[in-house]
Chains A and B, each alone.
Chain A
Amino acid sequence: MLSIEIHKRFVSKRREVNIDYSVSINSSVTTALYGKSGVGKSSVLRMIAGLETPESGNIVFNDEQWFSSTEKINIPIAKRKLGFVFQDYNLFPNMTVAGNLKYASENGKIPERISGLLNSAGLASLMDAYPDELSGGQRQRIALLRALCQEPELLLLDEPFSALDDEAIAELIKEIKRIQESLNTTIIVVSHRKDVIFKMADYVVHLKPNGEVEHGKPEDTLERDF
């Protein structure tokens, strides 16, 4: 279980963003953070990862306190047992696919289960390719597998579909579902696309500008208006 209660106020793109949310997310399922642009979905994800620091609040994952403003706890990123996939620029351009995966792996050796996922996803033939030789979809799928190399208990995906076409989105969703089924990882994905959320998420946390949070199954929480 991931429990977050965070507060942060900042200016982004000349607009004041006021993040004030209290959310609980179940383990071993895929949860989508949904909300209009500017509600702070990505910032919430970055605060969970430790890339940004809340002004106040708590972040607790599986009974482990990652952040507490009152107790002055702020666990470093490296100790948070998580994987993170950004919208773009995930892979290191100077390394091949194999290089990226080896660099992410603890002893420089790609874990067997990641090799297995590469094979079953048909990505094994791309091992010697550089990121600029891959399609956007392939890059994101490799980034997803790279994030798994350190066996994270929590996988955070920040708008991973934004730069992809429908075909690539379908492949990436398939990949995320396969990972969810085989590894039982807790996945949180930020997306503003309802169609994607209906296809892949078990639960939705709908963040609203006034700090209100609505959560539940996609069909109970979001209108199917696409």
Chain B
Amino acid sequence: MDYTPFLVTFKLAVFTTLILFIIAIPISYFLAFSKWKGKIILESILMLPIILPPTVLGFYYLSYLGPESAVGAFFEDTFGISFAFSFEGILLGSVIYCTPFMLSPMMNGFRTIPRNIVESTYLLKKSRWNALWHVLLPNMKRSIWSAVLLTFAHTIGEFGLVLMIGGKMQETNVASVAIYDEMNSLNYDVANNYAIVLLCISFVLIVALNLITRNNRSTIA
């Protein structure tokens, strides 16, 4: 069995999770606490990939960032970065597609922290930054773990979007696409091997999610 698709899958999942984790903290904090009236629109746009068919996202992604597009051509000519048919391309697509899975648990985490706890940090003269690192994030470990594991698991299972953006290149050949290709080539045994591994990984991730989010002491959300 060729293990390359698993390496690509894990690389994609690790980078997607890492990038989204860093981005999601300030965005979810803003969406949870801001009184800006327009945030419902911003939140809706960011949550759109939950219900949007991956093909719709893939179509617009390629239309506006693909090699034929002005933005795609500019980045390719200027920086040598291709947003389609490359690992960077599927990574960007994956980050966009998985945003809701990181953002939603994080926002819920911030919103679940009692108002008194948040206000206590103001009353103790702590800056928002200090309160975020010392009080808010440590009290929402369950939400953070949910966000990280859900994003990681969802990236591992991505198919349609990666197929559209990544094409059939070795550097974009993730395990889910490899199963599809082997099926089309009637290599059922190989497809089965890939599928069993993905099934086991997904099961382990769900068990981990359930264990970590259950009864975590000294944390609120």
Contacts and interface: CB of A to CB of B under 8 A. Distances in A.
Interface of A: 49, 51, 77-78, 82-84, 86-90, 92-94, 103-104, 130, 132, 146-147, 150
Given A77-B123, A92-B120, A132 B135 contact: no
B68 to A, nearest CB: 51
Contacts of B139: 92-94
A88 B116 contact: yes
A77 B128 CA distance: 13
Nearest to B220: A93
Contacts of B116: 86-90
Given A92-B139, A103-B134, A130 B124 contact: no
B122 A94 contact: no
B135 A92 contact: yes
A147 B116 CA distance: 13
A103 B122 CA distance: 12
Nearest to A143: B120
B122 A77 contact: yes
8 contacts: A77-B123, A78-B125, A84-B123, A86-B120, A94-B218, A130-B218, A132-B218, A147-B123
A89 B135 CA distance: 13
Contacts, number: 53
A94 B136 CA distance: 9
B114 interface: yes
A90 B117 CA distance: 6
B152 to A, nearest CB: 24
A117 B208 CA distance: 44
Nearest to A83: B123
Classify chain B: how many residues form its interface, as a range: 10 to 19
A94 B123 contact: no
Contact of B217 (A82, A90, A130, A146): A130
Contacts of A88: 114, 116
Contacts of B126: 103
A123 to B, nearest CB: 19
**9 nearest A-B residue pairs (beta carbon):** A94-B138, A89-B116, A78-B125, A89-B114, A86-B116, A84-B123, A77-B122, A104-B124, A93-B218
Interface centre among B122, B124, B125, B134 (most CB of A within 10 A): B124
A65 to B, nearest CB: 19
Contacts of A49: 123
Contacts of A89: 114, 116-117, 120
A84 B117 CA distance: 12
A51 B122 contact: yes
A39 B124 CA distance: 28
Contacts of B4: none
Contacts of A146: 124
Contacts of B117: 89, 92-93
Contact of B219 (A84, A90, A94): A94
A150 B120 contact: no
